[in-house]
Amino acid sequence: MKWVLCAVWLLIGLLLTEITTARPFPRRAQRILFLGNSITYAGTYVADIEAYLVAKYPKQAYEFINVGLPSETVSGLSEPNHANGRFPRPDLHERLDRVLAQTRPDVVFACYGMNDGIYLPLDESRFRAYREGMKWLHSELKKVGARQIVFLTPPVHDDPQLGLNGYNRTLDRYSEWLLAQKDTLAWEVADVHFPMVRFLENRRQTDPGFKLAADGVHPGELGHWLMARAVLGYLGEKVTDEPTAQAAFEAVGLAKNVRADEIRRLVGQRQGVMKDAWLRATGHKRPEMAVGKPMPEARAQYDTLERQIRAVVQEKKGRP
């Protein structure tokens, strides 16, 4: 009977370990996919999310895959003279099947809307195309078995003349609709739009010329951190008081006794290699893009950087 009791206690121990192991994503999730436009392709917020979670949860092994594509929409819309007539906006419908077949994601984050209103005042036909595109995307992700789907509201738009009272009003409405789907359709939605709006409004009370995006569209490092902070907060991380990425990584580095800044650097380097490799592997119709490395070559670099990241995770910072 002793062996039976030992087996029972072993099973209990394994179950308790499984229950108490901290993780930001569903159990057994491994591949985390990010879909979006040029803001996602830029990738700073994606890399910040990944690096923070690597530092915070060193026992978890996730692969973060960024397949953001500049100019893309989920609505299928494009301006008549987009890019001065060189090419229409790419449409996610054209490539999603290939992306999902190759990436096989467990968790998906998708950030659309910025391009979907075509930088024009709110119009019902364009708005309907965005709504239908998001519903289609959610359905397709469900079909392939994604275990968690998180939609992000579009980032803030800051018009050079009108500020937050221009195209951002369209994005306000898109964001309100998306957030409402948490109740209407039981979707998971992380809000990055309105926190960025509030940040700009508050900052401009003392600095009227302050900008998160020099061109009003593509956020700089601080704007990307606000996006990452909103997503991390949605995942349950206590980062809402961290004003910058540097402060957040200093805090998690201190808490976990790791060089989180070095983890961030290596993760950013790896993301830079892999995002173009994934676009090359999955294919797209957007011209004027950097040609990524063939996937075997990119994978070799991925593995090298993974070993470096794991070495940093395993070493402990010296205490004064």
Q: How many residues make up the chain in this entry?
A: 320
pTM (predicted TM-score): 0.92
**Structural domain includes residue 126:** yes
**Structural domain includes residue 6:** no
- The range of the structural domain enclosing residue 239 comes to 27-314
8 Å CB contact between 99 and 307:
no
**Structural domain includes residue 11:** no
The Cα–Cα gap between 188 and 282 comes to 26
**Structural domain includes residue 16:** no
The CATH number linked to 159 is 3.40.50.1110
Per-residue pLDDT tens digits for 55-92: 999 999 999 999 999 999 999 999 999 999 999 999 99
Per-residue pLDDT tens digits for 212-227: 999 999 999 999 999 9
Q: Which amino acid is present at 117?
A: G
**Structural domain includes residue 3:** no
The predicted structure's pLDDT at residue 14: 38
The predicted structure's pLDDT at residue 318: 54
Structure tokens at 281: 């592997």
**Structural domain includes residue 148:** yes
The band of 315, judged by pLDDT with boundaries at 50, 70 and 90, is confident
**Structural domain includes residue 299:** yes
The predicted structure's pLDDT at residue 15: 37
The predicted structure's pLDDT at residue 81: 93
In this predicted structure, the answer to whether residue 188 has a pLDDT above a threshold of 70 is: yes
In this predicted structure, the answer to whether residue 20 has a pLDDT above a threshold of 60 is: no
| Domains contained in the chain, number | 1
Q: Which residues contact 251 (CB under 8 A, 6 or more apart)?
A: 242
DSSP the chain: -HHHHHHHHHHHHHHHHHHH---SS-TT--EEEEEESHHHHH-HHHHHHHHHHHHH-TT---EEEE---TT-BSS----TTGGGGT-PPPBHHHHHHHHHHHH--SEEEEE--TTTTTTSS--HHHHHHHHHHHHHHHHHHHHTT-SEEEEEPPPP--BTTTBTTSTHHHHHHHHHHHHHHHHHS--EEE--HHHHHHHHHHHTTT-TT--S-TTSSS--HHHHHHHHHHHHHHTT---TT--SHHHHHHHHHHHHTS-HHHHHHHHHHHHHHHHHHHHHHH-----S-PPPPPHHHHHHHHHHHHHHHHHHHHS-PPP-
Per-residue pLDDT tens digits for 102-159: 999 999 999 999 999 999 999 999 999 999 999 999 999 999 999 999 999 999 999 9
The Cα–Cα gap between 145 and 141 comes to 7
**Structural domain includes residue 10:** no
Per-residue pLDDT tens digits for 154-180: 999 999 999 999 999 999 999 999 999
